[in-house]
Amino acid sequence: MRIKAALSLVVITLTCISPGHLLAAETNTQDLAELSAISNPNDPCFGGCAPYGVPWHFEAIGAPEAWEITNGSSDVTIAVVDTGIDDQHPDLVGRITRIPGCGLGQTNQYSTSHGTFIAGLIGASANNSLSTVGLDWNAQILDVRVMNGSNGRTSDIAAGIKCAAVHGADIITLSFVQQGSQLSPVLQQAISEAQDAGVLVIAAAGNDGYERQRFPAAAEGVLSVGAVAQSLDIASFSTRGSWIDLMAPGEGLLSLGAGQSNGVRLGQGSSFAAPVVAAGASLVKARFPYFDATQISNQLVRTAKTHISQVSSSQYRILDVEQALKQPYRSHWQVTETGQVIALGESEHFGDLTTRPLIRNVTAIAANLTGLGYWLAQTNGAVTAFGEARDLGDLSTMTLNKPIVDMATTPSGNGYWLVASDGGIFSFGDAQFHGSTGAMTLNKPIVDMASTPSGNGYWLVA
């Protein structure tokens, strides 16, 4: 019985820097800048309010461009399993929900500033001319208080995670770390049950500045998040390492204060990078409502910006909400020999050759890396780029021995190969020549080609 009691004691540390780094201030509506983009909200601190400048994290993750696509959906629920949320803050009125028996309930005895700051980053109300704005303007925020201030019991946290999953949370964000090198079995079970229910669990990586794995962020299937500074280098306090899935703004962030200030505060910590990613995830869910948790996580990671630190030369991925909403998860097009492109699934139509008369020789289509552009190849070697695909050259000025029958792109999307029916290979951009059958006598003509995953080879099919 003593062992069980020990496991339920809290070994949890909130992953903001310290309450001393949360600076309170009232909003100043006179500092509202005139914003031309229709997606920009009228909340005064979005444009900068005294004594603070313009919040930097919105531009860093492509928020204004993302808002042109979606502001979020009320059908998506993000559970904040934390210290509780001040639902009386004017910028959170109507945004917070609670489930009786889910967590420890409301409190007047303990500070809710940590959870309120998180809720503001996720969903402070937009276009109400108050304080600041969250990344997702419509998602439901489920308040699951599991801590008394900065202290909590693993049993309470585990129960809160399970309860959030049972009551329909799509995303759970966790901004604490457990002491020790292994995840508590109690928390592991709760996270596994949430994942089995289809919930995406996101967790802060910690603030020790080292590369060691911290839990629950390092748990299987959890989307782990570290913090970057405005320079986009890893914040000096942030836990780091190749085990972390994604980095997001976590230093000098502006969000909501709790209690008497009812204004805005500055805060920093991976505690606050994690909910930025959670709100990004909810926008992805709104954009692609049929995505499951794994697809949302994969979309965020694969569309993130690759950044190389100027300090350590380490490479990591930074959240890019704009690209997460723009890039199709599954892209597929069909093309006719007259150059008509048919977009299927999530693919977009970026143009085709149907307006050009007498074209009867289109033979291949290939997408660029992002799925936001493609190339059409003709049998005479002409290549036409559409959307974000770059013009990398073609064979239209050459006399070919045999017609072009297919094309393939390099893994980077910055090059392609053309193959002729005799197996002749022509390389463009960063595509490298690895051999051909152009000088061989074939029993049958080449009809298809495919690149290896590394781009260091290709297959020809007769």
What is the DSSP secondary structure assignment for residue 346, as one 8-state letter?
T
Interior/surface letters 285-303, b for 16+ CB within 10 angstroms, e for the rest: bbbbeebebebbbebbeeb
Which residue among 82, 91, 136, 320 is the active-site one? 82
Which residue among 255, 271, 421, 436 is the active-site one? 271
Supply the CATH classification number for the domain 2-326.
3.40.50.200
The top-level CATH class assigned to 331-461 is: mainly beta
State mean pLDDT over 357-370: 87
SS3 310: coil
Residue 23 confidence (pLDDT) above 90: no
Residue 135 confidence (pLDDT) above 70: yes
Tokens 């290549």 -> residue: 383
370-388: per-residue pLDDT in tens? 888 999 999 999 999 999 8
The CB-side HSE value for 363 (13 A sphere, CA atoms) comes to 22
SS3 content of the chain, % helix, strand, coil (to 5): 20, 25, 55
DSSP E strands in 84-181: the ranges are 96-97, 140-145, 147-148, 151-152, 171-174, 176-178
Same fold, 2-326 and 331-461: no
Answer whether 346's CB lies under 8 Å from 326's CB.
Answer: no
- In terms of Cβ atoms closer than 10 Å to its own Cβ (0-12, 13-18, 19+), residue 389 is buried
Q: Parse the chain into domains and list their residue ranges.
A: 2-326, 331-461
Which residue among 114, 125, 184, 270 is the active-site one? 114
State mean pLDDT over 255-264: 77
267-312: per-residue pLDDT in tens? 999 999 999 999 999 999 999 999 999 999 999 999 999 999 888 8
54-110: per-residue pLDDT in tens? 999 999 999 999 999 999 999 999 999 999 999 999 999 999 999 999 999 888 777
2-12: per-residue pLDDT in tens? 222 223 333 45
50-70: per-residue pLDDT in tens? 888 899 999 999 999 999 999
- Torsion sign, CA atoms 216, 218, 222, 227: positive
Q: Is 271 a catalytic residue?
A: yes
